[in-house]
A = this chain, B = another copy of it.
Amino acid sequence: MSLLVVGSIALDSVETPFGRTESALGGSAVYFAAAGALLHPVQVVGVVGRDYPMEELRRVARRGLDLRGVTIADGESFRWAGKYGFDLQTRETLETRLGVFANFKPEIPEPFRDAGFVFLGNIDPELQLQVLEQVHQPKLVACDTMNYWIQGKRTALLKLLEQVDVLLVNDSEVRELSGDWHIHRAARWVLERGPKFVVVKKGEHGAVLVERDRIFYVPAFPLDDVFDPTGAGDAFAGGFMAHLARTGDLSDANLRVAMVYGSTMGSFAVERFSIGRFEEITLADVTARVRAHRDLVHFELEPGDADRR
């Protein structure tokens, strides 16, 4: 089933202890799509300015992105600049210039409106709601958000939650949204407001899928060198949603596998600046890392082992 993402398309300038990049492809829709397209084609809706390096985006698109929903508007593209601390745990935003993104009004092209799977990247919840008005009965809708909207657009965000199936956020966001520092209680607070699933991303500590009566953990894939954490969460969402879209299977067992694909894509995202790693790898690399994830957590209780009384 087709997979649609609506989100930012940006130019990122990032400095880490290992180097820096200037005006590289970035934004939630770009990370999501670059990761997801390794598994399943991704329809992209977003806006860029006339300065955007469309030839670079089109090069990436050959791997499975449908760019018919990308509008080129008069003005400058969304630009973000940030700098990470020595352990990559802290990040300072040096510059945010919204450019044409400030007036973004998502218009879903007619051929995209039948998307079975929809990911609403981190944009104004009022715009996320507008997207939902334009699509026809998707099988699964997931959304991201951030502290800025939790604080400033709470009413719209709560209205949105009533209409989405999955909320994918990081730990600080679910804490702020719910007012509860305890992640599982916080996630269950969200479950009472509409979503059937909450995915909480915890960076180096992995991610957790919270359902009403079940919890699933996936660790972050262990990497010796994290190069640039930017976009890991959106790449996670891309892997998660693309696995669901390509299988069309929303069983609990398959949601767990989708979490592993998400974690895998997050781990690739941080190995290079921008979406560089996704241009190097193939599906074989992805599936190898998915299998390696299993070895990270798998254990067998011997027959009788857990039965001894």
Given A205-B205, A290-B306, A306-B287; A299-B257 close (CB under 8 Å): yes
What chain B residues lie within 8 Å of A287 (beta carbons)? 306-309
Structural contact, A308 and B294, CB atoms closer than 8 A? no
**Shortest beta-carbon distance, A220 to chain B, in Å?**
9
A56 at the interface (CB under 8 A from B): no
Given A205-B205, A295-B214; A184-B309 close (CB under 8 Å): no
Structural contact, A308 and B283, CB atoms closer than 8 A? yes
Total A residues in contact with B, Cβ cutoff 8 Å: 42
A224 at the interface (CB under 8 A from B): yes
A182 at the interface (CB under 8 A from B): yes
Structural contact, A253 and B299, CB atoms closer than 8 A? yes
Structural contact, A219 and B217, CB atoms closer than 8 A? yes
What chain B residues lie within 8 Å of A184 (beta carbons)? 222, 224
Given A205-B205, A224-B185; A216-B306 close (CB under 8 Å): no
Q: Chain B CB within 10 Å — which of A182, A290, A309 has the most? A: A182
Mask, A63-95, CB within 8 Å of B = 1, is 000000000000000000000001100000000
**Shortest beta-carbon distance, A49 to chain B, in Å?**
38
CB proximity to B under 8 Å, residues A197-218: 202, 205-206, 208, 214-218
Structural contact, B182 and A301, CB atoms closer than 8 A? no
What chain B residues lie within 8 Å of A290 (beta carbons)? 301, 306
Mask, A241-268, CB within 8 Å of B = 1, is 0000000000001001101100000000
Query: How far is it, in angstroms, between the C-alpha of A282 and the C-alpha of B159 when the chains are bound?
Result: 47
Structural contact, A222 and B216, CB atoms closer than 8 A? no
A297 at the interface (CB under 8 A from B): yes
A300 at the interface (CB under 8 A from B): yes
Structural contact, A300 and B202, CB atoms closer than 8 A? no
Q: Give me the 6 closest cross-chain CB pairs, A-B, nearest first.
A: A256-B299, A297-B297, A217-B219, A205-B205, A287-B306, A87-B181
Nearest CB in chain B to that of A255: its residue: B299
A102 at the interface (CB under 8 A from B): no
What chain B residues lie within 8 Å of A50 (beta carbons)? none
What chain B residues lie within 8 Å of A215 (beta carbons)? 222, 296
Structural contact, B294 and A301, CB atoms closer than 8 A? yes
Query: How far is it, in angstroms, between the C-alpha of A185 and the C-alpha of B205 when the chains are bound?
Result: 16
Query: How far is it, in angstroms, between the C-alpha of A184 and the C-alpha of B204 when the chains are bound?
Result: 12
